[in-house]
């Protein structure tokens, strides 16, 4: 057999190498044939190159088309159907009635409400409503009292609402009635024999036939009221410190009154104001109290004000230092004006160089004219 040299063999191009061609493999002096496919499989499994660099990222792909809407779900069960599935037996109306709870117990009865009790009182020529009591209720009784105003119940009668209406116009004269029957013959006329005044200032007319006629009482323009305090006594007096001014207290527990027509009182103990309502009236105001005994002399001042800069009365008195109880009296003549009529009169007591202790406080207001 002739010797073959590899360099003498012709070179086969890639296009000439088909799947039916064979490789001749000489291994340890032995020659074997290998197909193209077996050779390619061996190359793939055993011959690998170095890992290449990562390629550039590709561009974003286009958005896909929207998917079709899904099918509608099945309707759920109603509450009644669920109740039937869980064992309820009956119609839907019966099921609805079964949801109603049992009737509860009756609640406890409430207390009866209190009703205000009003009365009409005079304020000069005006008329106002006074709430003076509560009636008809149970439980705690309200304590509110006072006078009715446009904003509710107030304590000051001067600011109460006037409920007295204006005088109406005169009505149309009625038609003349039919003439009455002729009366019986009267007694012979008599004349007035005398005119006199009774003790109550009514007029007594005496005729010649001894018949009498008494007039109605005239309106009272004058009157008085005395108001006594009982909260401060000789055992428990009111102490006023040195150089101190304060309102003279008076709870008017003892009250004596003989008042003018249409006047209900001269004093409001809640406001501690004396009510001189007639804006053109003259009043006498007397203040009296006792001072506990002391060895020191001193001066006190009593003033009367009407809630303005004007002080209608102010007077100083000297206290003795003889260790004896001293009664002190102040007398004031007051002309009431619009401010005093509206604001009321406030009485104040002021000390100077010594402390004082007072009791038996008494104030008398008299309308003179």
Residue-wise pLDDT for 136-181, tens only, equals 788 888 988 998 888 888 989 888 888 887 776 777 887 888 888 8
Q: Which domains does the chain have, with CATH numbers?
A: 115-158 (no CATH), 191-218 (no CATH), 223-367 (2.60.120.1120)
261 pLDDT higher than 60: yes
Spatial distance between the Cα atoms of 161 and 157, rounded to a whole number of angstroms: 9
- Among 41-50, 63-72, 238-247, which stretch is predicted with the lowest mean pLDDT? 41-50
Which helix or strand (DSSP H or E) is residue 36 part of? Answer: helix 36-46
- Concatenating the DSSP letter of every residue in 263-303 gives B--SEETTTTEE----TT-EEEEEEEEEE---SS-EEEEEE
Residue 70's CB: how many other CB atoms inside 10 A?
A: 6
Distance of CA 127 to the CA centre of its chain: 28
Q: Are 287 and 229 in contact (CB under 8 A)?
A: no
Residue 215's CB: how many other CB atoms inside 10 A?
A: 13
The dihedral built from the CA positions of residue 288, 294, 295 and 297, taken in this order, carries a sign that is negative
Residues 59-64, mean pLDDT to the nearest whole number: 75
CA-based nearest residue to 263, from 341, 329, 203, 327: 341
Secondary structure of 311-338 as H, E, C letters: CCEEEEEEECCCCCCEEEEEEEEEECCH
Would you place residue 110 in the very low, low, confident or very high pLDDT band (cuts 50, 70, 90)? low
Six-digit token string for 129: 């409503």
Residues 299-307, mean pLDDT to the nearest whole number: 87
Q: Are 359 and 248 in contact (CB under 8 A)?
A: no
Half-sphere exposure of 231 (CA within 13 A, CB side): 10
């Amino acid at each position: 057999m002739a010797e073959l040299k590899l360099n003498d063999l012709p070179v086969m191009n890639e296009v000439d190498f088909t799947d039916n061609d064979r490789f001749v493999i000489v291994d340890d002096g032995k020659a074997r044939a290998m197909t193209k496919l077996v050779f390619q499989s061996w190359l793939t499994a055993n011959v690998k190159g170095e890992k290449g660099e990562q390629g550039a990222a590709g561009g974003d792909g286009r958005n896909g088309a929207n998917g079709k809407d899904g099918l509608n779900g099945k309707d759920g069960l109603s509450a009644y159907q669920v109740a039937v599935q869980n064992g309820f037996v009956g119609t839907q109306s019966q099921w609805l009635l079964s949801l109603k709870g049992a009737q509860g117990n009756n609640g406890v009865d409430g207390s009866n409400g209190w009703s205000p009790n009003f009365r009409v009182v005079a304020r000069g020529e005006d008329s106002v409503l006074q709430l003076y009591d509560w009636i008809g209720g149970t439980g705690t009784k309200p304590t509110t009292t006072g006078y009715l105003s446009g904003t509710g119940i107030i304590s000051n009668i001067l600011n109460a609402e006037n409920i007295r209406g204006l005088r109406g116009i005169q009505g149309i004269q009625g038609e003349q009635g039919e003439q009455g029957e002729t009366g019986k013959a009267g007694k012979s006329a008599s004349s007035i024999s005398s005119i006199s005044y009774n003790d109550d200032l009514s007029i007594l007319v005496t005729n010649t036939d001894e018949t009498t006629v008494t007039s109605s009482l005239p309106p009272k323009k004058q009157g008085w009221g005395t108001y006594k305090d009982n909260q401060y006594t000789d055992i428990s007096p009111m102490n006023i410190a040195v150089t101190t001014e304060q309102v003279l207290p008076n709870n008017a527990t003892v009250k004596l009154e003989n008042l003018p027509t249409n006047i209900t009182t001269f004093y409001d103990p809640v406001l501690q104001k004396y009510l001189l309502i007639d804006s053109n009236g003259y009043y006498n105001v007397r203040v009296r109290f006792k001072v506990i005994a002391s060895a020191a002399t001193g001066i006190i001042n009593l003033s009367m004000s009407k809630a303005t800069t004007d002080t209608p009365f102010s007077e100083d008195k000297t206290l003795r230092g003889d260790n004896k109880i001293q009664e002190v009296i102040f007398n004031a003549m007051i002309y009431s004006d619009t401010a005093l009529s509206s604001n009321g009169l406030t009485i104040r007591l002021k000390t100077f160089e010594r402390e004082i202790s007072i009791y038996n406080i008494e104030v008398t207001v008299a309308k003179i004219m």
